[in-house]
Amino acid sequence: MSLFKRRTTLCALGAVALAAATGNAMAQQVVTLRLHQMLPPQATIPAKALVPWAQKVEADSGGRIKVQLFHAMQLGGAPPQLFDQARDGVVDLTWTVLGYTPGRFNKSEVFELPFMSGSAEQSSRAFQEYVDKFAADEFKDVKLIAVHTHGPGLFHTKTPVTGLESLRGMKIRGGSRIINNMLTKLGATPVGMPVPAVTEALSKGVIDGTTIPWEVTPSLKVTELVKNHTTFAGAQGLYTQTFAFAMNRASYDKLPADLKKVIDANSGIEAAAMFGRAMDEGDKAGREIAEKAKNNIVALDAAETQRWRRTAATVETDWINEMKGKGVDGAKLASEARALIAKYAR
């Protein structure tokens, strides 16, 4: 072999070795994803859903994905900005309430309608399938990890709500425009605010009560600030809220293929169900705290609940009419949502 050929061969082998080393280094590269959310770390979703999700992703990736959690808006901004923080790449992942950006997730709002859903795990499975089939366009700007709902919605108030009449005139916190419309129909005065603001609003008398599920009451100290809780007969709660766990699209796209598979495997309906289960378990724990505190838990009977159903029914009519104006068949979407909820309730 000539000297020139030998050198050429050595250079080629060196290039192959360098490429292999570079490829191997890239394969072993550790990716750090920053996850931002609004609640304190001890709250149900951070403690029982986001942390387990992050741990599973880290384990499934062999340690090549690290998830840094930032709680209680540590990275700045306000809860209504969280979805855009994920969309715009301010952070890599966010968990947020869809109702904090009114009019943006119109088709997804159907799950917030009065007496639509009950069990969080069942309705979260239903909601994920619904979004995949009918509302995926509302999440096209992000890599959607999962959507979910909370469990049956109820009231937590300073004075007892024992029937429709006793709610009238009360200043009640609502978490979305659908819920605020419902509160208006029921005779209350809705006060919109993100859930982290509830504690201060109750303590300062800005509101007389709040609409939140049991699961978040401990972290907000609600059972200490109010002593009355009103529940409804039947499997469905008065309302629910919808949530999204989303990833920045560019953060996902730049992952190597095997790490994309890790994210994909921890996305979708089983992830939604895991968040829903955390909510259901949190509801049990939150109610137990209220019971141990000997708070007054009002259970409205079937007849009284039916009065609330009839009064709140116009909220769905309003939503359907509004959707019609946007060229969306709201009646069909409501029917599809109920069918999916029934499917997963079996």
- The answer to whether 285 and 218 have CB atoms below 8 angstroms apart is yes
Q: Which residues pair with 112 in a beta bridge?
A: none
Q: What domains lie within the chain, and their CATH numbers? A: 31-149+241-282 (3.40.190.170), 154-239+287-317 (3.40.190.170)
pLDDT of 127 over the 60 cut: yes
Amino acid letter at 128? Q
pLDDT of residue 8: 54
Predicted pLDDT at 17: 46
Distance, in Å, from the CA atom of 225 to the CA atom of 204, rounded to the nearest integer, reads 10
Q: How confident is the model at residue 28 (pLDDT cuts 50, 70, 90)?
A: confident
Residue 3 binned pLDDT confidence (cut-offs 50, 70, 90): very low
Q: What is the pLDDT of residues 263-316, one digit of tens each?
A: 999 999 999 999 999 999 999 999 999 999 999 999 999 999 999 999 999 999
Work out whether the CA dihedral 217, 57, 105, 88 comes out positive or negative: positive
Mean pLDDT, residues 68-97 taken together:
98
